[in-house]
Chains A and B, each alone.
Chain A
């Protein structure tokens, strides 16, 4: 946020989500919306996270469970296809991994500093169901 004085902002500690007026916001994708600097969409809170989800699209069935359950709208899905995780806003809660129904899971938690390509290359194998 800009370094401005007491007389330079709107009263009431009130924040505007968008620059100017908006129309048809539900029909506009997040990346196309004119978010203001005060919107949480503009701010990165990636440093809140100590573990991160890694997405392996090879096993994903686009069921949208992760998209539905993510408490912070951090699963990016377009035309019902899972694209990845918004790493600026994901807090690393692991709910997406918990609800992922595939075998092996298409999302797994790793330490924040883990290398994504290495982890995908060493992805766990399918688990046999107990008979």
Chain B
């Protein structure tokens, strides 16, 4: 092969961005079409540097916007290459039109989304507004809680997305700055091991197969559109989870690191549970252990896969729980939070008669502290003791001013 291998230590000190860039190098991406935006920029910069230094055989396409970045990825993926890029926030919002194109055309692109707030007011820090914006786009969405996850989930994303039974694009989310710019120890794979996990790219319906010419990006109207969307939804609902679980199993065999569709921490005997995503999972986990020392049976449920939504896995995980808090790090702007709604939908027709309350927190990078979570667990326990929800269904954590509560 016409590129050099890189010698890595077993444990490197990497932030989430560099971990994702290293994963992209080790997967030997053919094309990265990218436009920089904070805090995701170092991912594509990292790939570009590896390319310039001869560690990757590929193409870096510099474009004029995120819309063009994803469009370039769609063209390259349609041509038949392994393709990835990265973005955040406003860039992600500009990409949205093309996200639906990529998934509808069934192109296995991997998009690293470094989660950041959406303006206005302009803000470069982490929340989940952009991640929530992508949730109906027909992509698979993985959620990393730390740099190690960001590294590992990139390999898993390529493996699943490129599977010929799946052929759907995948996002790997990590929290802006909290993960993307926070250096931690990351267990690495050597280049050959890492590449063996994703394997050679196997093209499907590629435009560079001149013996079988294909047309991508066709138009359908009321006669065909519905059937194509139904097919895509069917495949998301039925085909993706078995492939993700198989990839998680194989990844564990290879590295010893275990991932699950939902990550359960101390749920077996728990009374009160916080359900959240991203870096908050790790904070909540720490606080839950402290609450147990105080006699509150606390647990944490983290979503590892947001789309497809792990409906039955969440039902199973929350069986017998007495009080649940759904933590949404995105302004619902006139509704209950997404996670609150999804959990309510999961649990509504079941015997789990848990009390479910929603919390909006951490917008624009506002910290979610251990104190916040301690208070939250105490509040959940108070609900359990009272046998009813003692607060409004929607509250805000960490916002200044008079207490905000609705519903």
Interface residues of A (CB under 8 A from B): 1, 5-7, 9-18, 21-23, 25, 38
Contact = CB atoms under 8 A, between A and B. Distances in A.
Nearest to B223: A1
A11 B167 contact: yes
Contact of A18 (B106, B213, B223, B226): B213
A6 B231 contact: yes
Contact of B205 (A6, A12, A38): A12
A14 B205 CA distance: 8
A6 to B, nearest CB: 4
B403 interface: no
Given A6-B227, A6-B231, A7-B231, A14 B214 contact: yes
Given A6-B227, A6-B231, A13 B213 contact: no
Interface in B254-306: none
B218 interface: yes
Contacts of A23: 211
Interface in B331-383: none
B234 interface: yes
A76 to B, nearest CB: 22
Given A13-B105, A14-B106, A22-B212, 7 more contacts: A11-B231, A12-B106, A14-B216, A14-B218, A15-B218, A16-B212, A21-B211
Nearest to B168: A11
Given A7-B231, A11-B106, A11-B167, A22 B220 contact: no
Contact of A12 (B105, B213, B230): B105
Interface in B216-234: 216-218, 220, 223-224, 226-228, 230-232, 234
Nearest to B213: A17
Contacts of A38: 215
B227 A12 contact: no
Contacts of A25: 213
B235 interface: yes
Contact of B212 (A7, A11, A21): A21
Contacts of B235: 11
B104 interface: yes
B107 interface: yes
A27 B230 CA distance: 40
Contacts of A10: 205
B251 to A, nearest CB: 26
B106 A17 contact: no
Contacts of A15: 214-215, 218
B230 A14 contact: no
Interface string B88-113: 00000000000000001111000000
- Residue from A1, A9, A13, A14 whose CB has the most chain B CB atoms within 10 Å: A13
B45 to A, nearest CB: 31
Given A6-B234, A7-B234, A13 B214 contact: no
Nearest to A12: B106
B280 to A, nearest CB: 36
18 contacts: A1-B223, A7-B234, A9-B227, A9-B231, A10-B205, A11-B167, A11-B232, A12-B106, A12-B107, A13-B105, A13-B217, A14-B215, A15-B218, A16-B213, A17-B213, A17-B214, A21-B212, A22-B211
Which 6 pairs, one residue from A and one from B, show the smallest C-beta to C-beta distance? A12-B106, A6-B227, A6-B230, A21-B211, A15-B215, A17-B213
A25 B104 CA distance: 29
Nearest to B235: A11
A50 B163 CA distance: 48
B104 A13 contact: yes
Contacts of A12: 104-107, 167, 205, 216
Nearest to B215: A15
A13 B216 CA distance: 7
Nearest to B105: A12
Contacts of B167: 11-12
A8 to B, nearest CB: 9
A1 B228 CA distance: 15
